[in-house]
């Protein structure tokens, strides 16, 4: 009897191991991919297929197919490798590198080498850069995703500007920051001094199938005083001026037409219409300020200016 029990236990153990092997089957890898994923190598900078790549979707592990990063968290760090400022929760494991100086990142599912993670560089408000080898990645495009467009507005304190814009149906995301000046990597303190040429602004990503650029521009004009020349409300200074930055000729034409309509009503519009320049994201504590603090704008308000 003991003999048969041992046979059954052994058979069960073999089945357990076999099941585990099935779960851990990996995708076939080329020699170049093995050198990165298994042997922890690094591909040459600017050589990877996903460095200059901006499609919408999910980046997955080349070895096991697990989801690792979202395209919405990808940014250009100009370092030569794909860079992300966030990972899918629980998808990436961090371990101290063998050199004792860096932190290695691994696929949490299969342990495949991805690259390294760095913090404190200030590229984005998250202050994190997952530097990943393209050879460690695959990509799954997101199907049927509506095309998006961007708009860029400045109407005084960016907290209040964002408050109204982010509530409009069809707005996908908003980011507060600085633009219009000539100083690279501006800080809030520097912009507040009024010496950088930058204004506080809000970059809006929106779905044009839900809300048009004209509707957004109308909301921009109707949630501040476009006739004030020295700031907005109690916020006085060049960093608080009313400015609309256009990305193409159509946006410029729409903005200028709206100003003409306001001027025809007797408003002395001070808003400047300018070509979009590089937008610098503001510090993390400025993002979604009123939403995070449960407060309301003190210098922005809504009033209807345009007839339908």
Per-residue confidence in pLDDT tens, the chain, 308 aa: 544 445 444 455 445 444 443 456 899 999 999 999 999 999 999 999 999 999 888 999 999 998 899 998 999 999 999 999 999 888 899 999 887 889 999 999 999 999 999 999 999 888 999 999 999 999 998 765 568 999 999 999 999 999 999 999 999 999 999 999 999 999 999 999 999 999 999 999 999 989 999 999 999 999 999 999 999 999 999 999 999 999 999 999 999 999 999 999 999 999 999 999 999 999 999 998 888 887 788 889 899 999 86
Domain harbouring 231, CATH code: 3.30.1060.10
**Residue 287 within a domain:** yes
Domain final residue, candidates 141, 160, 175:
141
**Together in a domain, 70 and 206:** no
Provide the β-strand partners of residue 243: 154, 272
- 107 and 213 share a domain? no
Are residue 276 and residue 153 in the same domain, yes or no? yes
Q: Let me know the angle formed at the C-alpha of 182 by 123 and 162, rounded to the nearest 5 degrees.
A: 60
Range of the domain at 229: 149-293
- Inter-helix orientation angle 213-222/249-264, to 10°: 40
Domain co-membership, 194 together with 72: no
DSSP string, the chain: -HHHHHHHHHHHHHHHHHHHHHHT------HHHHHHHTT---PPTT-STTTT---SEEEEETTT--EEEEGGGEE--SSSS-EES---TTSEEEEE-TTSSSEEEEETTT--EEEEEEESS-SSTT-EEEEE-GGGEEEEEPTTPPP-EEEEEEESSHHHHHHHHTTSTTEEEEEEEEESSS-SS--HHHHHTT-S--EEEEEEEE-TTTS-HHHHHHHHHHTS-TT-SSEETTEESGGG-EEEEESSHHHHHHHHHHHHHHHHTT-----EEEE----EEPPGGGTTHHHHHT---SS------S--
Determine, yes or no, domain membership for 40. Answer: yes
Q: 80 with 194, same domain?
A: no
- Tell me whether residue 241 is in a domain: yes
Q: Are residues 154 and 273 in the same domain?
A: yes
Q: With respect to residue 299, please indicate whether it lies within any of the assigned structural domains.
A: no
Judge if 100 and 207 occupy the same domain. Answer: no
Same domain for 266 and 191, yes or no, is yes
On whether the CB atoms of residues 247 and 255 are closer than 8 A, the answer is: no
Q: Both 184 and 108 in a single domain? A: no
Domain for residue 261, yes or no? yes
Catalytic residue status for 299: no
Question: Is 110 considered catalytic here?
Answer: no
Residue 298 lies in a domain: no
Q: Which position among 61, 64, 157, 299 bears the catalytic label? A: 157
Note whether 75 and 98 are same-domain residues.
yes
Residue at a domain's end among 123, 141, 159: 141
Please pick, among 61, 64, 131, 299, the residue that the annotation labels catalytic.
Answer: 131
Tally of domains within the chain? 2
- Residue 121: which CATH number? 2.170.150.20
This prediction has a pTM of 0.56
Same domain, 121 and 155: no
Identify the pLDDT of residue 307.
81
Q: 52 in a domain, yes or no?
A: yes
Clarify whether residues 137 and 233 are in a common domain. Answer: no
The pLDDT value recorded for residue 143 is 67
Instruction: Please report whether residue 104 resides in a domain.
Output: yes
């Amino acid at each position: 009897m003991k003999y048969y029990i041992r046979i059954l236990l052994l058979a069960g153990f073999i089945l357990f191991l076999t099941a585990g092997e099935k779960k851990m089957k990996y995708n076939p890898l080329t020699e170049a991919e093995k050198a990165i994923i298994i042997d922890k190598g690094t591909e040459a900078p600017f050589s990877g297929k996903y460095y200059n790549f901006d499609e919408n979707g999910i980046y997955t592990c080349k070895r096991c197919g697990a989801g690792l990063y979202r395209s919405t968290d990808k940014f250009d760090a100009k370092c030569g490798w794909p860079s992300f400022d966030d990972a899918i929760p629980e998808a990436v494991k961090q371990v101290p590198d063998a050199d004792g100086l860096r932190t290695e990142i691994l696929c949490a599912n299969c342990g495949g080498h991805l690259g390294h993670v760095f913090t404190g560089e200030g590229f984005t408000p998250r202050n994190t850069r997952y530097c990943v080898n393209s050879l460690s990645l695959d990509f799954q495009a997101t199907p049927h995703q509506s095309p998006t467009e961007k708009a860029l507005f400045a109407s005084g304190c960016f907290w209040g500007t964002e408050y109204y814009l982010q509530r409009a149906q069809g707005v996908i995301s908003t980011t507060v920051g600085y633009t219009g000046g000539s100083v690279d990597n501006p800080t809030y303190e520097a912009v507040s001094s009024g010496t950088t040429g930058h204004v506080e602004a809000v970059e809006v990503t929106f779905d044009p199938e839900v809300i048009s650029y004209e509707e957004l521009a109308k909301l921009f004009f109707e949630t501040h005083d476009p006739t004030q020349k020295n700031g907005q409300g109690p916020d006085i200074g060049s960093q608080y001026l009313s400015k609309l930055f256009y990305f193409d000729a159509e946006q410029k034409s729409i903005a200028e037409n709206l100003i003409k309509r306001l001027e025809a009503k007797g408003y002395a519009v001070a808003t400047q219409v300018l070509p979009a320049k590089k937008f610098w994201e503001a510090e993390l504590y400025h993002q979604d300020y009123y939403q995070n603090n449960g407060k309301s704008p003190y210098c922005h308000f809504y009033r209807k200016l345009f007839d339908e």
